[in-house]
Amino acid sequence: MWLLQRCLRFQRLGRDFDRPWVGVGNYSRVTMTKRKRQQGYYTKRMKSVQEGSNEEVLLADIRSLLQRSKIDGPGVTSNESGATDSEAPFERFSQVEVKIAALSSIGDGLGFSSSKSDHVFVVPFTLPGDVVEAKVVTQFANDHYTLTDFVSVLKPSPQRNDDLVRCPYFAKCSGCQFQMLSYEDQLAHKKSIVEKAYRNFSNLPIEMIPLVGDTIGSPLQYGYRTKLTPHFDGPPGSRVRRGRKDGPEQPGFEQVPPIGFMVKGTRKTMDIEDCPIATDAVREGLKQERKRVAEELSKYKRGATVLLRETTTKAPAQPQGPPATTDDPQPISNETDSSNQPPQALQTTSSPTSTTTTKTYITDQNATATEHIGPYTFLNPAGAFFQNNNSILETFTSYIRSHILPPQPSTTSTLTTNNTTRKPPKPIKHLIDTYSGSGLFSITLSPFFTTTLGIDISSTSIASASLNAAQNAIPNATFTTGDAADIFAEAKTRYDGDGDGADECVVVIDPPRKGCDDGFLRQLLGFRPQRVVYVSCNVHTQARDVGVLVRGGRREGWGLEGEKGKKEEVKVDDDGTGGIGNGKGMPRVRYRIESLRGFDFFPQTGHVEGVAILQRVDDDEGNE
């Protein structure tokens, strides 16, 4: 019996029955290996990463830096053969001196130690030229890089100016990366992010990518965020017992937990009493909500997220009393709002004869938040998506308006290209706003078009957009809930009845961070709009998608029928041209990039909003 139990034990360990003592030795080595991995002697193996994710973007920057440092680029890819991971260059949690050589597209510094010139250290809150002390956290030896925590600056970069920092939590909180960097340098870096995105992810030759315009900055570098979502974790053990119906009662809080945001590089919540990048109303909301949570702590058995969304109302200025002479915020009023709104409100008077603007905050995600962009008013559920920097929205929408239509054509009736005479493109009369949300583009661009059609797969968003069109008295804007499998069905019925393509249409795309899926891009190419404006909060997935449109549907791993994993092929249409047509013998559809530019919606952070303007290339234009 004893021998049988022993054999079963080694069977579970996968050992050789005939040599049990070797099995015991192997078991010891396995245990030691696990401990070494936990202590950082061994390194993690890079898992597959999602397209456009921070991991993919960071890895591209690391490989580029290694190549510039004369390290073999292909040799630093992940170990795909299943071989044993190599040993990490430094013990976990040890400190290492790093000289920062570059700034990555995700906002972290990339540098080398004096003892390891073929291994990149990723150090947050650093700038090129900094010499810093960093703590080793997670190592990827097969990919030649290590993630670290910032400890201290040993020798500052010429670009570093710590006097610019306004937040006591900077260099710990995960929210901001660049408070020590001048705003001019922040904008220059964000321009380079767009440039690198198209160089690394568009899969286009450099001659097909135009020069990227200078990044357009935000009028406010602090006090601009109209939405914050601080959170707090539940008491110890609350997550374990959450799903147990017959388990012991969940423990309550013994003290007020940290309420705020994540510590950089961790899942740990950091207590944040104030956030200077938020608007004054939202900052006041944070103060009041922290106080409320402390007073009502006994009601919570688990963690929670607090919504703080600014809402703005405008009313005619009161004729009584002396008029305000500045736009500076006035003292917070003590009036109580009967609509379950917080009692605090910030008031400004834009001019003695115009309107009084009152800003307050909302904590109910189903309550209505109001935004004003120039002459337009937008009403949205407070928990729904809307751009979080109102100060730049008028500049942003004005830029889109000035580029939504093509440059004025020649005064002659024909154009000549490659010794071929062709007619000028038809004038654009219709706007199709995909991923329309609450109608930002449909409404602000409506004066330039005969009709505007907003399409979104969310019925809630369509309801908000229709409400906003009525609120702003926009008669030519309509909205419809689209089917992802045939998103342009309504647009085809309206504008492409003859099947010759939507020559009089421009399409605006503003997708989520993951970008457009293959099906959407195929449908867009099949719809054949004359012009495309692609707005994105992730310029890396934008570059990938724009590359597909410029190549006319060809992408790695995607045949022209959209089957992933299918070998690249070129379909020949009836007229002998290759590419995606409309199924009726139409020639290949592809686009050229007219302009690229970034917008800084989030100063002090590594995020940049990208705008790409695309013009359809007709078959008689050759390879222009």
User: What are the structure tokens assigned to 157, written together?
Assistant: 């970069």
User: 242 phi and psi, to 5 degrees?
Assistant: -60, -40
Beta strand pairing call for 308-316 and 355-362: antiparallel
Neighbours of 161 (CB within 10 A): 15
Distance linking the first and last C-alpha atoms of the chain: 82
Phi, psi of 193 (to 5 degrees): -60, -45
- The verdict on whether 609 is a catalytic residue reads yes
Which residues make Cβ contacts (< 8 Å) with residue 110, sequence separation at least 6?
A: 61, 62, 65, 100, 101, 102, 103, 104, 120, 121, 122, 123
Q: Which of 366, 380, 376 is nearest to 311 (CA)?
A: 380
Lookup result for tokens 């109910």: 364
* From 176, 275, 505, 537, active-site residue: 537
* The two structure tokens encoding residue 57: 């973007």
Q: Alpha helix locations (H) across 318-366?
A: none
* DSSP one-letter string for 301-315: SS-EE--EEEEEEEE
SS3 string of 413-472? CCEEECCEEECCCCCCCEEEEECCCCCHHHHHCHHHCCEEEEEECCHHHHHHHHHHHHHC
Q: Are strands 609-617 and 590-599 parallel, antiparallel or unpaired?
A: antiparallel
d(CA 397, CA 377): 14
- Identity of the residue numbered 390: N
- List 87, 609, 621, 624, catalytic entry: 609
Whether residue 537 lies in the annotated active site: yes
Residues noted as catalytic: 537, 609
